[in-house]
Amino acid sequence: WNAAEKKQAIADALAKRGVDLDKLKHAMKMDDVDDFDFICHVAYDQKPLTRRERAEGVKRRDFLSRYSGAARAVLETLLESYKDLGIKNIEKADVLRMKDFQKFGTPGHIGKLFNGKKGYEEAVRALEQELYKAG
């Protein structure tokens, strides 16, 4: 589930069968639940976690202490964006153009906080893995 391509493949497979995940979540009053948790809830009757609960788990496990200064602040802002918008949005580099990220500078400048674009992408993948850790 951690790879964006896998999430898109699942969404495409559901759409091909006429299932709009967002509309279904809305109909079940579960808009604040992460897509992964929603699918597991529907398929396996697992208790779903909200995006807020997943983000709090990341903070509780102290993942952010791996980073400092502005890089840490960027990741904290990504976590806030995840709570509001979901995982698909933080995986896209366009998220760095949102108003909340303007205080950090351009997307290129933000990349430099992580020693370049590759470092930023690795940090986002690590954050995503942390979001989906159990516990």
Mean pLDDT in order along the chain per 10 residues (135 residues): 72 88 93 91 91 95 96 97 90 92 96 96 95 79
pLDDT computed for residue 23 by the predictor: 93
pLDDT computed for residue 5 by the predictor: 72
**Rounded to two decimals, what is the model's pTM?**
0.86
**CA–CA gap between residue 111 and residue 106 (Å, rounded):** 9
pLDDT computed for residue 2 by the predictor: 62
Q: Distance between alpha carbon 120 and the CA centroid of its chain, in Å?
A: 14
**CA–CA gap between residue 42 and residue 68 (Å, rounded):** 39
Determine the 3-state secondary structure of 89 from DSSP. helix
Q: The tokens of 13 are what?
A: 């497979």
